[in-house]
Amino acid sequence: MKAVSVSEEAPIILVVDDDQFIRDLLRRVMEKDGYQVVEATNGEQGLAAYKSINPHLVMLDALMPVMDGFTCCQHLQALTTSSPLEGKMLNGKSLHNNARTPVLMITGLDDPESVDRAFQVGATDYITKPIHLAVLRQRVRRLIEQFQLYKKLEEANLELHRLATLDGLTGVANRRRFDEYINDEWQRMIREKLPISLILCDIDYFKKYNDSYGHQGGDACLRRVADALRFCVKRSIDLVARYGGEEFAVVLPNTSAVGASKVAEEIRALVNQLQIPHAQSLVSEHVTLSLGFACMYPTPSTSPTTLIGAADEALYQAKALGRNMSFPKC
Ligand code: GH3
Ligand code: MG
C-alpha cells in the first residue's frame, strides 16, 4: 500500500486490487475527478487501510491473494455495523454509526453466483471488467453523494436526539430522559438481580436566592450546581438529570445504599465548597443542598415510582431536620 497524505476536503477512495495496471488506471481516473486515492493489494491490506483512513468509498476486486474481495467485504460490513460513532456517547449509551461506507466491487467475475455472493456479503454495487470508465465515474459520484447525504442525516438525527433529551439551561439530562432511563435501568437491574439507588437533591431556600439575585442569577446558580453534580458522578452508567425547577436527580444503577450515601455526601460537600453567596439563606451564608436517597432491589412487581417516592420522603426529612444534609430511606 502506498503511503498517502490525506487532506480533509476531497473524498477518499480506497482501491483494493492485486493488479497494478488496474490500480494505476483507477487512480488516474479518480484523481482526475478530484478524489484522493489510497491503494491496497489484497483484502487484508484493504481492511488495515480502511481502519486507518476511513474512506468514502471502497473499490474492491473479487479474486486476490491472501484475502479475497468477498471475505474482505464481509469484514468491512462487520466493522461498520459494530463500531460506535466516535465520541458520540449519550448519557452513557453509545450510538451506533449505521452509515455504511459503500463498497463497489469491480471484477472480471460476471457469473450470477458471484454477483449474488457479492451482494450477500454487503457490496453496494457491482461493475465487471473490462471497465466502462464513463459508467464507473457516474456510479462513483452517485455512491459517494448518497453516503455523504446519509452521514449528514445521521448527524442531524443524533443532534435531534441530544436536544430532545437534554435540559436546555443546565446541559444535564431532562425529565423525559430521566423517566426513560430509570425505567430501562429498573428492568435491567431486575434481570441482573442488582440494586439501584436514587438521590434527589434540592437547593435550599432557592426562592429567596431568586429574590436576592434575580432570575438570571438563579439560572447561573442552577448551572453551577448541575456542574458540581456532574463532577461527582463518575461512572458512565450513572445519570444526572434535572428533575424539576431547582431539584436534581441522580440515578445510580448497581449501587448499594452505602455507595449512594457516599455520592450524596460528596455532592453536598462540593456544593458547600463552591461557596456561592446566598445572603437570605437561613442555614448558611452560601448555597446549600438537601438530599434524600433510597436504594432498592427491583422486582417485577415493583416500579421506579416506589424508589422515587422513597427518595422524595428522605428529601422531605432532610429539609425537616434542618437542610444542608443528606438523608436515607432504605
Ligand atoms: P426549600 O429550601 O424548602 O427547598 O425552599 P425553596 O425556596 O428552595 O423551594 P420553593 O419550592 O419554595 O421554591 C423553588 C424556587 O425555584 C421557586 C422557583 O421560582 C425557582 N425556580 C424553579 N425553576 C427555576 C429556574 O429555572 N430558574 C430560576 N432562576 N429559578 C427557578
Ligand atoms: Mg428548594
Mind listing the pLDDT tens digit for each residue in 97-130? 456 899 999 888 878 888 888 898 888 999 988 8
Amino acid at 122: G
Would you say the C-alpha torsion 278, 281, 284, 290 has a positive or negative sign? negative
pLDDT of residue 86 exceeding 70, the answer is: no
CA of 140 to the centre of ligand 2 (A): 60
Least confident of 30-39, 94-103, 188-197, 201-210: 94-103
The answer to whether 83 and 103 have CB atoms below 8 angstroms apart is no
Q: What is the pLDDT of residue 96?
A: 43
pLDDT confidence bin for 166, thresholds 50/70/90: very high
Residue 214 CB less than 6 A away from ligand 1: no
Cell numbers at 154, concatenated? 445521521
> What whole-number distance in Å separates Cα of residue 233 and Cα of residue 226?
11
Residue 51 CB less than 6 A away from ligand 1: no
Tabulate helix, strand, coil % of the chain (nearest 5): 50, 20, 30
> What whole-number distance in Å separates Cα of residue 241 and Cα of residue 233?
11
CA of 185 to the centre of ligand 2 (A): 27
Q: How much is the CA Rg of the chain, to the nearest whole Å?
A: 28
pLDDT of residue 80 exceeding 80, the answer is: no
> What whole-number distance in Å separates Cα of residue 57 and Cα of residue 131?
17
Cell numbers at 219, concatenated? 439560572
The answer to whether 85 and 162 have CB atoms below 8 angstroms apart is no
What domains are defined for the chain? 12-163 (3.40.50.2300), 175-328 (3.30.70.270)
Residue 94 CB less than 6 A away from ligand 1: no
Q: What is the pLDDT of residue 108?
A: 83
CA of 252 to the centre of ligand 1 (A): 25
Mean pLDDT of all residues belonging to the chain: 90
Residue 319 CB less than 6 A away from ligand 1: yes
Ligand found nearest the CA of 205 = 1
Q: Whose CA is nearest to atom 27 of ligand 1?
A: 219
> What whole-number distance in Å separates Cα of residue 242 and Cα of residue 248?
4
288 SS3 class? coil
Q: Whose CA is nearest to atom 26 of ligand 1?
A: 245
The answer to whether 330 and 257 have CB atoms below 8 angstroms apart is yes
Q: Which of 145, 246, 265, 285 is catalytic?
A: 246
100 SS3 class? coil
Instruction: Give residues whose Cβ lies within 5 Å of ion ligand 2.
Output: 202-203, 206, 246
> Is 8 an annotated catalytic residue?
no
Altogether, the residues listed in the chain come to a count of 330
Closest ligand 1 atom to the C-alpha of 169?
26
